[in-house]
Amino acid sequence: MAPVPISSIKVGQIDDVQELRKSRPKTIPERYVRDIAERPTLEKLPPTLPMQIPVIDLSKLDETNTDQSQKELSKLAASCQDWGFFQVINHGIDTELLKTIEKVAMEFFMLALEEKQKYPMLPGTVQGYGQAFVFSEDQKLDWCNMLALGVEPFFIRNPKLWPTNPAKFSETLETYSTNIRKLCKNLLRFIAMTLGLSQDTFNEMFGVAVQAVRMNYYPPCPRPDLVLGLSPHSDGSALTVLQQSTGSSVGLQILKDNKWIPVQPIQNALIINIGDTIEVLTNGKYKSVEHRAVTHKKKDRLSIVTFYAPSYEIDICPLPELIDVNQPCMYRRYNHGEYSKHYISNKLEGKKTLEFAKIQTKLSS
Ligand SMILES: O=C(O)CCC(=O)C(=O)O
Ligand SMILES: [Fe+2]
């Protein structure tokens, strides 16, 4: 989340979507209207519930080598391989803390615009309040307001961008981040086990892990059929932990077998997804799956998203244990800091950023 020194970017007029909505417009500005191919299909719920991302019970994984823990580990392996997304329950994070972070985040977004603009996300940067990943005047905009903050290591923080209002904001975010960090470390331990690797496989790489938090607020939208809350993308992290507000409408969708599948919220569960770094480290065995957010005509939605990534200095390449004749090396070695810079200097566009690391194989004619 280090700022990108891009001084010449012209992003044009970026309206604040909460302000736009205040006048209860029937139509929406052209810059939010997606091309037809990109528009979400907001089907009514079919008679049978659509496919669901797997749910992993973390308390079962914590048991030492019981039948139950082995079964849950296999389920985790299948989730990472077939879905790249899963929800975790019994994750050990106090539900009061989940409620408190949701409360302070919501209080922040409900402040007057002038107050929120004391923490501006400047063009070309990804921290503060505003819209990230906008790089040109003709780029379509997301129906979303964001507050994004670098948390760890300390040098990526920009203390001026940490809201002092609501008063408990910083303190809560600090405690929340410490808890999510522990969860990520545990998840990486379990993920290593699903690959038949030592539990410590990822320890060194994530010694001074980079952690950033993005809070996304999606106000109701008069034309949810025309806009996207958040453009399709994969995450540049190793793991992402996503908390959505209680009672939130379905908003997150993931691309599976070329179809957008909605993720149904489960109370107090956290959604985990594999980011680009784990895709590379596992040589493509575990995929970082494309996802997006859609909006709702009447309901708003808040998501609190933590990105957990290796230290910037680390070089990333597929683990040798996951390369063989049947699965040749698919990604080149690269520096993670370079990848982060590349990720945040491009608009969100499906899995395009990962082209950076792909080894191009020549197609034989
Ligand atoms: O709000 C959501 O459900 C999606 C958020 C997301 O994908 C992100 O912030 O990277
Ligand atoms: Fe994401």
Q: How confident is the model at residue 228 (pLDDT cuts 50, 70, 90)?
A: very high
pLDDT digits (tens, 9 = 90+) for 308-338: 999 999 999 999 999 999 999 999 999 998 9
Phi, psi of 196 (to 5 degrees): 75, 20
Tokens of 217: 């607020």
pLDDT digits (tens, 9 = 90+) for 253-298: 999 999 999 998 899 999 999 999 999 999 999 999 999 999 999 9
> Within 10 Å of residue 337's Cβ, how many Cβ atoms?
17
- Map out the domains of the chain with their CATH numbers: 17-24+50-357 (2.60.120.330)
**Nearest alpha-carbon partner for 234 in 318, 135, 63, 357:** 357
DSSP state letter for 360? P
Q: What is the pLDDT of residue 46?
A: 58
Please name the helix (run of DSSP H) or strand (run of DSSP E) that holds residue 293, with its range, or none: strand 291-293
**How distant, in Å, are the alpha carbons of 33, 146, 264 from that of 251?**
18, 15, 8
CA of 324 to the centre of ligand 1 (A): 34
Tokens of 26: 């029937």
Residue 45 has pLDDT above 60, yes or no: no
The pocket around ligand 1, CB under 6 angstroms, is made up of 214, 216, 230, 235, 242, 251-252, 291, 293, 303, 305
- Beta strands 85-89; 55-57: pairing state: parallel
Nearest CA to ligand 1 atom 1: 303
Q: How confident is the model at residue 123 (pLDDT cuts 50, 70, 90)?
A: confident
Q: How confident is the model at residue 1 (pLDDT cuts 50, 70, 90)?
A: very low
Q: What is the pLDDT of residue 71?
A: 95
pLDDT digits (tens, 9 = 90+) for 67-114: 999 999 999 999 999 999 999 999 999 999 999 999 999 999 999 999
Q: What is the pLDDT of residue 2?
A: 46
pLDDT digits (tens, 9 = 90+) for 235-251: 999 999 999 987 777 89
Q: What is the pLDDT of residue 43?
A: 60
The ipTM (two decimal places) reads 0.99
Query: What is the average pLDDT across 340-362?
Result: 81
Distance (Å, rounded) from C-alpha 47 to C-alpha 230? Answer: 28
> Within 10 Å of residue 347's Cβ, how many Cβ atoms?
15
Pocket residue to mutate for ligand 1, from 126, 230, 307, most atoms within 8 A of Cβ: 230
Tokens of 171: 């303190």
Strands, sheet with 239-244, edge to edge from the N-terminal-most edge strand:
55-57, 85-89, 270-274, 239-244, 301-309, 210-218, 145-152, 128-130
Residue 3 has pLDDT above 50, yes or no: no
**How distant, in Å, are the alpha carbons of 93, 280, 283, 355 from that of 289?**
25, 13, 14, 14
DSSP calls for 53-75: --EEEHHHHTSSS-HHHHHHHHH
Residues 6+ apart with CB under 8 A from 132: 121, 126, 146, 148, 214, 344
Please name the helix (run of DSSP H) or strand (run of DSSP E) that holds residue 274, with its range, or none: strand 270-274
Tokens of 244: 């959505």
Ligand 1 atom, smallest distance to 244 CA: 3
Strands, sheet with 259-262, edge to edge from the N-terminal-most edge strand:
230-233, 291-293, 252-256, 259-262
Predicted TM-score of the model (pTM): 0.94
Query: What is the average pLDDT across 6-31?
Result: 80
Tokens of 221: 């939208």
Q: Based on the number of CB atoms within 10 Å of its own CB, is 258 exposed (0-12), middle (13-18) or buried (19 or more)?
A: exposed
Tokens of 137: 């005047």
Ligand 1 atom, smallest distance to 301 CA: 1
Pocket residue to mutate for ligand 1, from 53, 149, 227, 242, most atoms within 8 A of Cβ: 242
Distance (Å, rounded) from C-alpha 162 to C-alpha 202? Answer: 30
Percent pLDDT > 90 in the chain is 71
